């Protein structure tokens, strides 16, 4: 039997936090829709309080070494998945620091092909120091993945390749292009303190229409990290099958993703690149409906500082956009309070474009939680510990 109980909470709640810290294996299931970088430190901090966080990760990265792997093998991007797995890995377990170093290592960009192949061969034969230092049986499992990759790599360009991405790719191909078994194996291998899943297991891309009427296809062109920032604000975002064609495509989430979302005790739309990390996760059909059906609280923690993707967007604009994508599955039947209940801000120490218009936000039926989230050390960004404690207190 399920019943609904309303109660007051304290943010932060020292007693609740201490209770979680003492029994993190019984901690709350906080679900995040995110990319792989901005939430990395917060994810690591959360493992001190709960081993049950859920991370729904965008698989649409089209830049850097991810682009090389995606183009060669026609698959989803695994870089952000790797990043989050390592952020959640228990660093106290024997061999995990060594695996972390290996997964974070990139082959040189300036080496010639023979040198790169020789270094990869050393890894495959466990003669490379980064592999040799990993204890058995983890070393043998990783070696098997290197051997698998060697059988499928053909003329793959190893320059600047992420070793962690190579290992996950090998597992993906050997598991008949299923990513969940690979994530499961490495989650057990390094004792990941949480659940990591891609939104969808599809080889698709982000596409956007800008306010000036131009179109952009590819996440790497939106973020401003690998190319110049976009010339105008983003008007609309959707999914496309190919980088060469901005035609929208429809992708549905599997039932297991719906069940995962429904199991959450708190859903968070966190800091990070607003469109390419947060909104991107909401694009597949069924995400908004699953969120609306979940009876837990939903909270938005907007960025402080600047985000190249938010050119011309105030905080209220961000909320409007977030609500649009969350309700697009069924706008007439999905209400605002079905998908968003709280905005978590620090109006004293944080900077929000256009300020925090509490009156306008409250009119939407959304409650503003204004508390300390930016510390002296983290300014102007959110402090991972303060943010973690605030979110945990809402559960």
Q: pLDDT digit string (tens) for 373-386?
A: 999 999 999 999 99
**What's the pLDDT score for residue 203?**
97
Q: Give the model's confidence band at 6: pLDDT under 50 very low, under 70 low, under 90 confident, else very high.
A: confident
In the block, which residue shows the tokens 């599955």?
329
Give residue limits of the domains in the chain.
14-58+253-393, 64-191, 205-250
Calculate what percentage of the chain has a pLDDT beyond 70.
Answer: 100
**What's the pLDDT score for residue 343?**
98
Read off the pTM: 0.96
| Alpha-carbon gap, residue 360 to 89, rounded angstroms | 41
| Alpha-carbon gap, residue 3 to 16, rounded angstroms | 22
User: Can you tell me the mean pLDDT for 175-189?
Assistant: 95
Cβ burial of 332 (10 Å; 0-12, 13-18, 19+) is exposed
* Backbone torsion region of residue 379, taken as left when φ is above 0, otherwise alpha when ψ lies between -120 and 50, otherwise beta: beta
In the block, which residue shows the tokens 């901090």?
45
The DSSP 8-state label assigned to residue 279 in this structure reads I
User: Can you tell me the mean pLDDT for 9-38?
Assistant: 96
**What's the pLDDT score for residue 3?**
78
**What's the pLDDT score for residue 8?**
86
Q: Give the model's confidence band at 153: pLDDT under 50 very low, under 70 low, under 90 confident, else very high.
A: very high
- pLDDT at residue 43 tops 90: yes
Q: Give the model's confidence band at 336: pLDDT under 50 very low, under 70 low, under 90 confident, else very high.
A: very high
- pLDDT at residue 2 tops 90: no
**What's the pLDDT score for residue 372?**
97
Domain 14-58+253-393 has CATH 3.80.30: yes
**What's the pLDDT score for residue 34?**
96
Calculate what percentage of the chain has a pLDDT beyond 90.
Answer: 89
**What's the pLDDT score for residue 96?**
86
Nearest to 364 by CA among 327, 313, 312, 390: 327
Strands 245-248 and 234-242, sheet pairing: antiparallel
User: Can you tell me the mean pLDDT for 219-231?
Assistant: 83
* Vertex 71: Cα angle to 119 and 73 (nearest 5): 70
Q: Per the structure block, which two tokens stand in for 52?
A: 């049950």
**What's the pLDDT score for residue 225?**
72
Q: pLDDT digit string (tens) for 289-331?
A: 999 999 999 999 999 988 889 998 999 999 999 999 999 999 9
φ/ψ of 193, rounded to 5, equals -95, 65
Q: Give the model's confidence band at 32: pLDDT under 50 very low, under 70 low, under 90 confident, else very high.
A: very high
User: Can you tell me the mean pLDDT for 159-171?
Assistant: 97
Cα separation values, 56 from 14, 26, 129, 200, 270, Å: 28, 20, 33, 9, 11
End-to-end CA distance of the chain: 20
Q: pLDDT digit string (tens) for 50-82?
A: 999 999 999 999 988 889 999 999 999 999 999
Strands 205-210 and 234-242, sheet pairing: antiparallel
- pLDDT at residue 226 tops 80: no
Q: pLDDT digit string (tens) for 338-362?
A: 999 999 999 999 999 999 999 999 9
Give the residue ranges of DSSP H helices in the chain: 14-22, 40-46, 64-73, 79-88, 96-104, 113-124, 129-132, 138-152, 163-174, 180-189, 255-262, 280-282, 287-293, 315-327, 336-339, 358-363, 384-393
Q: pLDDT digit string (tens) for 88-146?
A: 999 887 778 999 999 999 999 999 999 999 999 999 999 999 999 999 889 999 999 99
User: Can you tell me the mean pLDDT for 157-180?
Assistant: 97
Contact 298, 323 (CB under 8 A): no
């Amino acid at each position: 039997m399920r019943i609904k109980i309303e109660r007051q909470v304290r943010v932060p709640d020292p007693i609740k936090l201490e209770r979680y810290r003492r029994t993190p294996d019984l901690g709350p299931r906080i679900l995040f829709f995110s990319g792989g970088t901005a939430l990395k430190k917060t994810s690591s901090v959360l493992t001190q309080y709960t081993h049950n966080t859920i991370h729904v990760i965008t698989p649409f990265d089209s830049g850097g070494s991810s682009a090389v792997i995606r183009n060669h093998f026609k698959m989803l991007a695994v870089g952000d998945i790797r990043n989050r797995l390592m952020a959640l890995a228990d660093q106290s377990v024997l061999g995990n620091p060594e695996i972390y170093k290996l997964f974070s290592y990139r082959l040189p960009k300036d080496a010639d092909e023979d040198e790169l192949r020789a270094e990869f061969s050393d890894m495959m034969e466990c003669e490379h120091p980064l592999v040799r230092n990993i204890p058995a049986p983890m070393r043998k499992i990783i070696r098997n993945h290197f051997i698998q990759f060697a059988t499928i790599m053909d003329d793959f360009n190893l320059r600047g390749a992420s070793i962690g991405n190579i290992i996950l790719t090998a597992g993906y191909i050997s598991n008949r292009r299923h990513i969940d078994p690979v994530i499961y194996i490495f989650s057990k291998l390094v004792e990941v303190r949480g659940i990591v899943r891609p939104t969808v297991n599809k080889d698709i891309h982000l596409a956007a229409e800008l306010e000036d009427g131009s179109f952009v296809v590819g996440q790497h062109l939106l973020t401003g990290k690998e190319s110049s920032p976009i010339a105008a604000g983003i008007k609309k975002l959707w999914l496309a099958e190919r980088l060469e064609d901005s035609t929208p495509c429809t992708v549905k989430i599997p039932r297991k993703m719906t069940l995962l979302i429904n199991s959450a005790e708190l859903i968070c739309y966190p800091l990070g690149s607003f469109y390419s990390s947060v909104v991107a996760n909401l694009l597949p059909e069924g995400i908004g409906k699953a969120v609306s059906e979940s009876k837990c609280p939903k909270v938005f923690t907007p960025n402080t500082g600047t985000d190249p993707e938010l050119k011309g967007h105030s905080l209220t604009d961000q909320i409007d956009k977030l609500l649009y994508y969350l309700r697009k599955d069924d706008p007439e039947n999905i209400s605002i309070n079905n998908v968003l209940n709280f905005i978590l801000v620090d109006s004293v120490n944080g900077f929000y474009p256009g300020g925090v218009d509490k009156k306008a936000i409250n009119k939407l039926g959304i409650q503003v939680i204004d508390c300390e989230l930016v510390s002296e050390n983290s300014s102007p960004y959110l402090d991972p510990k303060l943010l973690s404690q605030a979110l945990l207190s809402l559960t």
